[in-house]
Structure 1
Amino acid sequence: MTITRRTLLTSATAAGLLPLLPRRIWAGSTLALGPMQIDTLSDGHLVLPGDFILGGMPQAEMQDILSRYALPTDRLEPPCNVTLLRDGTHTVLFDVGAGPDFMPTAGKLAEALDVFGLTTEEVTHVAFTHGHPDHLWGLLDEFDEPVFPNATYMMGQAEFEYWTDPATVDSIGAERTAFALGAARRLAVLADSITLFNDGEEILPGIAARLTPGHTPGHMAFELRGGSEAVMVVGDALGNHHVAFEQPGWPSGSDQDAETAAATRGRLLDQIAAAQMRLIGYHLPGGGIGHAERQAGGYRFVEEQA
């Protein structure tokens, strides 16, 4: 497996028409894995209060970690990396971004696809890691039709059942009520056509589902394998490049089940580091592609370099 290029892609540059407008830039890492070409596409970024991720952690130690990454603790702006896989037969997206209704800084996937020269009609499959807004709400267009009209949509069975259960809106907590309502509305459009799968299933050739619960009840990662080499698309099972790696056992406010999510992080990092496997994280920097290195007491995220 090789990194074949690292590119900076701008929609303004591609169009050549709007030089005076602010330019959106994508840091795109492309790697080859057997017959697969894997790219990351930016859906923009989130703007979150620090407590949404950092709440409940040991504050002094947490602040020390964040300071070493030159990050504030009151406001975080994690990137959103949608993974694109092409193998000559299938064109697969892992998640669809936030769409226009979540945050103004996100929902930019259509621009990124345009920069990559892809149309929505060319996407053959969409595999969801989970049902949170920044991963799912880009599903529908302004007419409530699927944005990718020719795609087969796939989601873990437990995750689909959780978000389509009418009881979820009452049990998820007031701060996430909109998450539940938004997911249920969007997934209802796919109710009769979505393909459901379970842990360990090969959903497409070379793509296996890996249950990674805690962030949401049925969160899935995906192991992409070409020959003896593999890449793990981790979604939000590893939700940031700082505390999630250095202190995977700490609870995070972004996880719906903090204890389960912490246990999942520990197992996942141990597996990835032991196998020297590359990973792609939805909210990790530099396009999200890198690997995990062990260090005293935890791990560190190492961005992939061209």
Structure 2
Amino acid sequence: MRRVLIDNDNLLGPLRAIPAVESQIDAIRQLRLSYRGADASELQYIQTQYAELCGWLYQDAGNFRSAQFWTDRALEWSYAAGVPDLTTFILARKSQLAGDMRDGLTAIDLAEAASRQARPDTRLGAIAATNGAYGYALTGDSRNANQMLDLAHTLITDQDMDPSFSWGSWMDDAYIEIHRARSLYTVGNHADAAEGFRTAIENLPPMRHRDKGVYLARESLAYVGAREPEQAASIGLQALGIAEATGSARIITELAELDGQLERWQSVPAVTEFRESFDGLIAHQA
């Protein structure tokens, strides 16, 4: 059931999945009242996984307060479940959430905490390093951001992964390079960021539909920063179609920023088309 909900989120966005995930958490908590021993521990583990997923869904929906609530519950419950790998993964996820909230120092601190706990034969160290890199970019430290991303590449290339380990199956070289492009944009290197997004997006697997929309939106912002409004608007329209299908607030937030930045180029036909389409989407949602 959790796998189906994750797949639906990737295709359709978070808003349709959140009620089902919260319902599952309530059902599991009720079941736990009737079980003890190994069965109770297994239910605690499953409940923790659902809480982490719920935090992610709210994060993608742009509701950071609820995202923090559920991710904090997941961290708390992971200790009770006694699964150190899951605790480490959730610490890395909290670093990612802090980055989305533009709290660079907290993103760095949580990533370092996750790195200290990460088993060497898992992707956890690479996940932590990638999220910590964005924290460094938010603080303007491009050197450490690049070093963390290089480390993430090394960790997923040079280590023999535990074949039974499932957390962070999406962590690959393309994902790391997406975050390098985001860091480049954050520190003001817009042309290289745009090129980095374009190359990494081409290597994304098809099932990461919603994520592709997020990355397209960020690529469009990089092109605005590089003073290429027509290219920015064209890519923004691609992201807009995915935003409409998924309801992802992460995409819409990026596109709202794009809309504002494109205002100075209203005479460009592609810009006019994007801005009118974006206004239509916002009016429809309202």
TM-score (norm 1): 0.33
Structure whose CA Rg is larger: 2
TM-score w.r.t. structure 2 length? 0.35
Higher relative contact order (CA 8 A, sep 6+): 1
